[in-house]
Amino acid sequence: MALLPILCYPDPRLHTVATPVQAIDARIRTLVADMLETMYDAEGIGLAATQVDVHERVITIDVSEKRDQPLVLINPEIVEASADKQVGDEGCLSVPGIYDGVERSRSIVVRAMDAEGNTRDIAAEGLLSVCIQHEMDHLQGKVFVEYLSPLKRNRIKTKMLKARRDTERV
């Protein structure tokens, strides 16, 4: 397993739309293992392959308290979403240190394959529902800050670019 570099907003590669996984083979299983290791190391609860510059429809999630219940979603699709919405603060490994309110469906049903190629439907609500929706946005080339006002988005972009310049100087 290996730690993968996480792209940071406003990196244009974060806006790449991911393509479906054609075959769940050793390469995809290695990607999944590396994504889980990267997600846990960064203390995140979700990671989309887009965030590690792999533009295929793969997501890893673990919202458990003990961080011992990894969930792998390959080629996920939302098959049902509640009309009932909620606004909650979201953060993102690609936008470190930034949190803001985003409106999401309160509950969803997602259909996806696991790392063994088994297709299953997962009913999710609460944090898991939000996390799945957030990570699926990444697969569509969308970062959560795009739900915010242009003013907030520009301030975040400026802050992220400044942080990158400061890091490069060190």
Q: Which residues make beta-bridge pairs with 48? A: 59
Helix (H) or strand (E) holding 128: helix 126-139
The tally of CA atoms less than 13 A away on the side-chain side of residue 2 is 8
End-to-end distance of the chain based on CA atoms, in angstroms? 28
134 annotated to a ligand binding site: yes
138 in a labelled binding site? yes
Hey, how many other C-beta atoms are within 10 angstroms of the C-beta on 103?
Answer: 9
92 is in an annotated binding site: yes
Q: 95: which 2 tokens?
A: 């936008």
The SS3 call for residue 121 is: strand
Phi-psi region of 141 (alpha: psi -120 to 50; beta: other; left: phi over 0): left
Distance CA 76, CA 73 (A): 6
One of 65, 103, 135, 168 is an active-site residue; which one?
A: 135
Q: Does 135 participate in catalysis according to the annotation? A: yes
The catalytic site residues sit at: 135
Q: Give the residue ranges of the annotated binding site.
A: 92, 134, 138
Q: Give the residue ranges of the annotated binding site for Fe cation.
A: 92, 134, 138
